[in-house]
């Protein structure tokens, strides 16, 4: 690989890490608390550079979205392609998966697509914006989707039908990344100028960090440990 563009920790086996690079390759590693990392699988080829990754709740399927607008699902433990989930006209910038398995993809064409891989295309929900959509994140309850746009707005949407709940604004910069607090009562938005903006569900912005000299990256991941015992050899049979 030639550097990481996106990473995602497995929600079931927290020592498994998926990493995407600009060479159109996604690699899954086992990263133990002690000792060296071990290769689990390589997901390739992809049709373009992979921008974002998200695991399904089963801890086996991984969703990868690319610059050509494609959203592909892989069996990440076997390294086998399973299906194309959705397609955008331009760069697919981010993917997020809810605890119920709803997959949200957003892109520079301003389109949000939400659906479940096991439900078929007839159950997809759509919402379109005039500006590029840069980021998305499901609340931990899976009932609210936060989406950030290039014009600095962040919308909160319902899980059913993508109904609008609320809009907050990040002044003077595009919203590049968004993440929820563990209790779902607040969320943080990372802006293009490197600043962080903190919002509560009940009120407006509660705090803001200064802009950074350099931009922050678009993605961050965290794992909860310890992990339950897991036998990859058994899973791969």
Per-residue confidence (pLDDT) for residue 205, from 0 to 100: 63
Per-residue confidence (pLDDT) for residue 210, from 0 to 100: 67
Region 169-191: what's the mean pLDDT? 93
Q: Are 112 and 98 in contact (CB under 8 A)?
A: no
Which residue has tokens 């991941």? Answer: 221
pLDDT digit string (tens) for 63-109?
Answer: 999 999 899 999 999 999 999 887 788 889 999 999 999 999 999 99
pLDDT digit string (tens) for 196-222?
Answer: 999 998 766 666 666 655 554 454 333
Per-residue confidence (pLDDT) for residue 62, from 0 to 100: 98
User: What are residue 71's phi and psi, to 5 degrees?
Assistant: -120, 115
CA-to-CA distance for 71 and 87, rounded, in angstroms?
6
Extract the tokens encoding 216: 């922050």
pTM: 0.85
Residues 6+ apart with CB under 8 A from 14: 223, 224, 225, 226, 227
Of residues 138, 93, 97, the one with CA closest to residue 111: 93
Distances (CA, A) of 139 to 42, 48, 130, 190, 207: 30, 29, 24, 16, 20
State how beta strands 61-66 and 80-87 pair.
unpaired
Per-residue confidence (pLDDT) for residue 123, from 0 to 100: 66
The band of 224, judged by pLDDT with boundaries at 50, 70 and 90, is very low
The band of 229, judged by pLDDT with boundaries at 50, 70 and 90, is very low
Per-residue confidence (pLDDT) for residue 184, from 0 to 100: 96
Extract the tokens encoding 163: 């109904």
Long-range contact set of residues 211-218: C-beta below 8 Å, sequence gap at least 24: 211/173, 215/176, 216/176, 216/177, 216/190, 218/6, 218/51, 218/52, 218/93, 218/94, 218/134, 218/135, 218/176, 218/177
The band of 2, judged by pLDDT with boundaries at 50, 70 and 90, is low
Percent of the chain with pLDDT over 90: 68
User: What are residue 183's phi and psi, to 5 degrees?
Assistant: -90, 5
Per-residue confidence (pLDDT) for residue 214, from 0 to 100: 54
Per-residue confidence (pLDDT) for residue 98, from 0 to 100: 97
Q: What is the mean pLDDT of the chain?
A: 86
Per-residue confidence (pLDDT) for residue 5, from 0 to 100: 80
The band of 237, judged by pLDDT with boundaries at 50, 70 and 90, is very low
CA-to-CA distance for 32 and 232, rounded, in angstroms?
13
The band of 228, judged by pLDDT with boundaries at 50, 70 and 90, is very low
The band of 121, judged by pLDDT with boundaries at 50, 70 and 90, is low
Per-residue confidence (pLDDT) for residue 3, from 0 to 100: 59
């Amino acid at each position: 690989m030639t550097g990481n563009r996106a990473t995602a920790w497995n929600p079931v086996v927290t020592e498994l890490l998926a990493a995407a690079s600009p060479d159109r390759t996604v690699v899954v590693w086992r990263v133990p608390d002690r000792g060296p990392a071990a290769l689990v699988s390589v997901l390739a080829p992809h049709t373009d550079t992979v921008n974002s990754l998200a695991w399904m709740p089963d801890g086996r399927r991984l969703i990868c979205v690319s610059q050509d607008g494609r959203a592909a699902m892989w069996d990440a433990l076997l390294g086998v392609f399973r299906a194309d989930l959705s397609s955008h006209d331009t760069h697919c910038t981010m993917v997020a998966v809810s605890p119920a398995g709803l997959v949200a993809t957003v892109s520079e064409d301003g389109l949000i697509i939400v659906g479940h891989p096991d439900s078929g295309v007839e159950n997809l929900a759509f919402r379109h914006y005039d500006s590029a959509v840069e980021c998305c994140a499901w609340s931990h309850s899976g009932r609210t989707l936060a989406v950030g746009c290039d014009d600095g707005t962040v919308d909160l949407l319902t899980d059913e039908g993508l109904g609008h709940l609320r809009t907050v604004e990040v002044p003077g910069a595009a919203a590049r990344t968004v993440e929820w607090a563990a209790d779902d009562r607040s969320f943080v938005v990372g802006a293009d100028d490197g600043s962080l903006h903190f919002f509560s569900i009940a009120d407006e912005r509660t705090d803001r960090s200064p802009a950074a000299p350099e931009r922050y990256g678009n993605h961050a991941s965290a794992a909860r440990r310890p992990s339950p015992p897991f036998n990859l050899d058994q899973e791969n049979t």
